[in-house]
Structure 1
């Protein structure tokens, strides 16, 4: 990983539930880990190998070791297809020509195509409906890249994958990248993105990160507290990534429909990390992405998690992402 320059924290340093400090790093760390500068993949798909079945159509059956037998009965009828060996011997030889048939050629069954094909379609709510077909890559992990966001998914038994993704750009490009270098690129135009505020957080492995949104003064556990355990109120939260694979890239995206809100006030946003046996005593990293009219703002986070005697506690980072100011419509 590239060494990141430490960013000095200003007044109002992020507050933690148990008083744990953290280091804000520059964008070099995230560009390496999460692919903020997404490489351009070759959109040309992989061509499947075609195996030809070779059939020897000129096969000749050799007749050897012809056995002569004595005739024990009257001569065969003239209509019999026989060849006389000798008139005075009474020995007859059955003709072998009719037994020589052209061998049957086996059917050539074409192998299925191994082309990797992706498609994207804009959907209501500034969403993208994604579809991937990779017939020769069943049950395979694949990283999905979009505007600097990356998360890990797994294809089905037939190599297919479908998912919904909150768009982070109107001209939305999505890249599917397999570990062997194969992949596919697709895109869609998302015209209603400007009607939504979006904040994303991404990390790797079982770091324990969560986005919490408390809409219009809602307390923890009340209506209007949106997080992965209660993912919808006026705003909505989606978690992306397959947590069952080893060291997956994970992400959460909080969306608020600012153009159709019936309320006025503030949506308090915080990034939190629960102390678990998977992260206690370790240093964990994440990156936030905030969509605005000027583009995507990113911030990097390195956080020292307390030792395992603090299991179940939460580190609350109130200023990593900006609160949302909402006017009623």
Structure 2
């Protein structure tokens, strides 16, 4: 990674809780990586000539249903007779449906082109979205969504102060992993029209972890860096979106991990990054320095960017802080505005 810093002076304005202030902050440049056609009725064939010597078929009267006499047999064809003579000897069968009682005829066949329609209550049950949740290693919530009537749609996922957007697949399914921000965890999926579905669980192991998050909306762009135990930017100890670490615990448990949430491809995307450190499992003592970079792009330069930060607390809801950054002009639409000292360090006692 190119660590050459490009220094310029920019103004950054922070809304931290209820306080507002301004300060001058240096920036540095780091490379980063149609309806179906109607059926055609075939032309009717010309009626065949009435066969000679055809015996009529007798049909039972309605007073005696079920006693239908068989048609009288015609005289057998003589040896050497023609095929036409044989056909003319077969009696013409008359349709019986009109003479049968309705109970014997059964239901009428559907009209051509007609389709079966589900009952309203059945359709509503099929369209009802369902959600389930489980807990994975690292106090991670595994949220599964089944919404067959919301296929390929934008959905907002909310949990413990976090809010981010996702996109269901072609079957209305979604499978996403979310860092737990509260022990009594509820995850809610919200569709257009304020239709929601939720799932809940308990995460007692959350007390072993410290979590910090930054979230934003639209074209704003931020990166959260966790510099573990004196690590420099770009080193192995710089945990961020491009060096996220792993949620799977190891024998020493001295490394945190970053989780990136949100789908940028939807309309009005909502995005978040969450850093986790296993303070209750670590054997190493020291501190983790937290830095937020406001990314300068052609879409973010020359205007104000807004975000929120979240910090987990063991016995209360996550603490939320508003953040506002005045971005530099667009003369150099690349690089970062470094927001150091905004978030308190994570103190790790170790063993």
TM-based fold match above 0.5: yes
Contact 2:189/2:196 (CA < 8 Å) preserved in 1?
yes
Contact 2:56/2:92 (CA < 8 Å) preserved in 1?
no
Q: 1:22 offset after TM fit, Å? A: 0.7
User: Counterparts in 2 of 1:102-121, with a 5 A limit?
Assistant: 102=105, 105-106=109-110, 108=116, 110=118, 113-121=126-134
Contact 1:17/1:316 (CA < 8 Å) preserved in 2?
no
User: Counterparts in 2 of 1:88-127, with a 5 A limit?
Assistant: 96-98=94-96, 100=98, 102=105, 105-106=109-110, 108=116, 110=118, 113-127=126-140
Contact 2:10/2:328 (CA < 8 Å) preserved in 1?
no
Distance 2:337 2:350 in 1: 32
The answer for the alignment partner of 2:293 in structure 1 is 272
Distance 1:169 1:286 in 2: 21
User: Counterparts in 2 of 1:131-150, with a 5 A limit?
Assistant: 131-150=144-163
Q: Does the residue aligned with 1:242 lie in a helix, a strand or coil?
A: coil
Aligned equivalent of 2:15, options 7, 16, 24: 24
Residues 18 and 314 (structure 1 numbering): CA distance in 2 closer, same or farther, change over 3 Å?
farther
Distance 2:221 2:54 in 1: 98
The TM-score, its normalising length taken from structure 2, stands at 0.68
Deviations 1:41-94, CA, capped at 9 Å, x for gaps: xxxxxxxxxxxxxxxxxxxxxxxxxx9x8775x564997469xxxxxxxxxx96
The answer for the alignment partner of 1:283 in structure 2 is 304
Distance 1:76 1:133 in 2: 66
Contact 2:284/2:350 (CA < 8 Å) preserved in 1?
yes
Q: 1:290 offset after TM fit, Å? A: 0.3
Where structure 1 has 5 or more consecutive residues not aligned to the other structure, the ranges are: 1-15, 28-66, 83-92
The answer for the alignment partner of 2:231 in structure 1 is 218
Aligned equivalent of 2:165, options 143, 148, 152: 152
Q: Which has the higher helix share?
A: 2
Distance 1:117 1:211 in 2: 33
Greater Cα offset, 109-118 or 120-129: 109-118
The TM-score, its normalising length taken from structure 1, stands at 0.73
Distance 1:169 1:157 in 2: 31
Mapped pair 1:184 → 2:191 = no
Distance 1:327 1:275 in 2: 36
Q: 1:105 offset after TM fit, Å? A: 3.6
Residues 299 and 123 (structure 1 numbering): CA distance in 2 closer, same or farther, change over 3 Å?
same
Residues 237 and 77 (structure 1 numbering): CA distance in 2 closer, same or farther, change over 3 Å?
closer
Residues 17 and 298 (structure 1 numbering): CA distance in 2 closer, same or farther, change over 3 Å?
farther
The answer for the alignment partner of 2:88 in structure 1 is none
Aligned equivalent of 2:215, options 184, 187, 202: 202
Q: Does the residue aligned with 1:192 lie in a helix, a strand or coil?
A: helix
The answer for the alignment partner of 1:40 in structure 2 is none
Distance 1:292 1:114 in 2: 38
Distance 1:294 1:70 in 2: 97
Instruction: Name the larger-Rg structure.
Output: 2
